[in-house]
Amino acid sequence: MAETRHDDICGMDAVTMAAEIRARRLSPVEVTEAVLERMDRLEPTLHAYCTPTPELARSTAARIESAIARGEDVGPLAGVPVAVKDLICTAGIRTVSGSKAYEDFVPDEDDVVVERVRAAGAVVMGKTNVPEFGYSGVGHNPVFPATRNPWNTDLTSGGSSAGSGAAVAAGMAPLALGSDGGGSVRIPSSFCGLYGLKASMGRVPLYPGTKDERYPGVSSWESLEHIGPMTRTVADSALLMSVIAGPDPRDRFSLPAGDVDWSSCTEGGIAGLRVAYSADWGYAAVDPRVRAVVGEAVRVFEEQLGCTVEPVDPGWPQPYEAFWAIVANESDLTGLRAMAERVGAENMTPHVVEFIQTSWTAEQFTDALMVRKAVQNAMWRLMQDHDLLVTPTLAVPPFEVGIQGPTTIDGREVEPFEWLHFTYPLNFTGQPAASVPAGWTDDGLPVGMQIIGRHLDDATVLRASAAFEAAAPWAHRWPALVTSAAMGSSAGSGR
């Protein structure tokens, strides 16, 4: 009976869990023990958590439970487990960033978002696995075992928020913090059947990640990077955003608060909205399975949600090379090269070594900025006539662990990272973009659909996401790994 109770707890969404804890119908200590038991069962297979923190979690849960018993005010996440990506600094908790250079690094300060979730009463269960410095869309690195996808453990969970995606998909935390410099919240959300939100640039402040010159591998991608929620439901992401959003003087990009009511932004329909749909940006190779699943999901906007849908081609130049030039321009190449010499290139991820040893010219950097401006200008012109833009999140379903990406998509030879064509342009523009589960392939692999809003219109993205979720729900579906080990076969039935 205790095991069944624990499995029920692990299957709860965060909104329900938080309400049950505040009403004293659910114990923070019991919640923490349930998640730790799930981790004991599944972590030897999934490797979602690179640095679990069970004793910290237990002590935090006990403190919150005592506070509730005394009738004290507690935060909106009181007692709710959260997983934290290992690129996000955590005071007193090892933050490795997937690199031997930081294998023993323990920050002396929290990232802003960690300060905020801790202040809100969340229980940090540990740090989740990433590729080295986040320079990849998958989940293997030189330090820890590769993270695996709960839907098929031969496959990657995506990245760079690899462990965060696997943890939430397997019920080893209802909330996870990811970061997204080119898609790294949306990628694992797509591959793991989750909801992942990259809010508008500046909604969620970043510090010290991307900002602190003391950390060459972590301090990079400043104009591209976002931190965002990864959850099983849209409402859970809105709840987490209500805690982590808002200005902070340590981040010069942070936006004023007040124009988004995170508590109600998921409410209401979207009838009458004008939705643009691009199946391939006009240049991307896309797996036919993805085209089919997302194409069917897009019909929901017109047939069930009352929107008008128009196929579009944004018409910007293919920005793949420009993206990597901007990453290089915002990376501490001098520090990274010194680090590689100190650690030994043989102890680093090969493509990371190749990247940091590449010679770049000023013209490459300025050309990349011109491409970024062209993407931005094409985008705002497109969005003048549309309320939302919808695309596949990724060009492919999940692929095998150990590679950076497929080299052939739909019969076309591609570079190993070209399956990411749909995500990184939104890091150029800073627009809000979410990945929602669009459906599953015939062999049971999740496929994500990206919902993009106008500049700063996060509220419409969340409202549209919630409307789609209500019309085509997904949160009842669990990977067979979870249902067979923990939750019973009925919970895994398809929609």
The whole-angstrom separation of Cα 422 and Cα 438 is 15
Coil, helix or strand at residue 440: strand
- Judging by beta carbons within 10 Å of its beta carbon (0-12, 13-18, 19+), is residue 441 exposed, middle or buried? middle
190 assigned to active site: no
Position 493 scores a pLDDT of 34
Catalytic option among 97, 161, 184, 465: 184
**Residue 486, pLDDT score:** 56
So where are the chain's domains? 2-492
Written as one letter, the residue type at 449 is M
pLDDT tens across the length of the chain (495 residues): 567 889 999 999 999 999 999 999 999 999 999 999 999 999 999 999 999 999 999 999 999 999 999 999 999 999 999 999 999 999 999 999 999 999 999 999 999 999 999 999 999 999 999 999 999 999 999 999 999 999 999 999 999 999 999 999 999 999 999 999 999 999 999 999 999 999 999 999 999 988 888 888 777 899 999 999 999 999 999 999 999 999 999 999 999 999 999 999 999 999 999 999 999 999 999 999 999 999 999 999 999 999 999 999 999 999 999 999 999 999 999 999 999 999 999 999 999 999 999 999 999 999 999 999 999 999 999 999 999 999 999 999 999 999 999 999 999 999 999 999 999 999 999 999 999 999 999 999 999 999 999 999 999 999 999 999 999 999 999 999 999 865 443 333 333
How far is the first Cα of the chain from the last one, in angstroms, to the nearest whole number? 28
Q: What top-level class would CATH report for the domain 2-492?
A: alpha beta
Sheet holding 274-277, edge to edge: 49-52, 123-128, 81-85, 175-180, 226-231, 195-198, 433-440, 446-453, 388-392, 274-277, 308-311
pLDDT at 219: 72
DSSP single-letter state for residue 149: B
Q: How many CB atoms lie within 10 A of CB 344?
A: 11
The owner of tokens 């399956």 is: 419
**What are the C-alpha distances in Å from 62 to residues 29, 56, 182?**
6, 10, 38
Q: What's the token pair of residue 156?
A: 């990657």
pTM of the model: 0.96
Catalytic entry in 160, 200, 237, 465: 160
Rounded to an integer, what distance in angstroms lies between the CA atom of residue 21 and that of residue 111?
A: 26
Contact of 230 with 4, CB cutoff 8 Å: no
- Residue 494 is predicted with a pLDDT of 36
Residue 191: in which H helix or E strand, if any? Answer: helix 186-192
Q: What per-residue string of b and e applies to 478-495 under the rule 16 or more CB within 10 Å gives b?
A: bbebbbeebbeeeebeee
| 3-state per-residue secondary structure call for 294-341 | HHHHHHHHHHCCCCEEEECCCCCCCCHHHHHHHHHHCCCHHHHHHHHH
Q: What is the pLDDT of residues 393-426, one digit of tens each?
A: 999 999 999 999 999 999 999 999 999 999 999 9
At residue 366, what are phi and psi to the nearest 5 degrees?
Answer: -70, -35
100: annotated active-site residue: no
DSSP type of residue 152: B
Q: What does the pLDDT read at residue 210?
A: 84
Tell me what pLDDT residue 489 has.
Answer: 36
Give the model's pLDDT for residue 218.
Answer: 77
Whether 161 is a known active-site residue: answer no
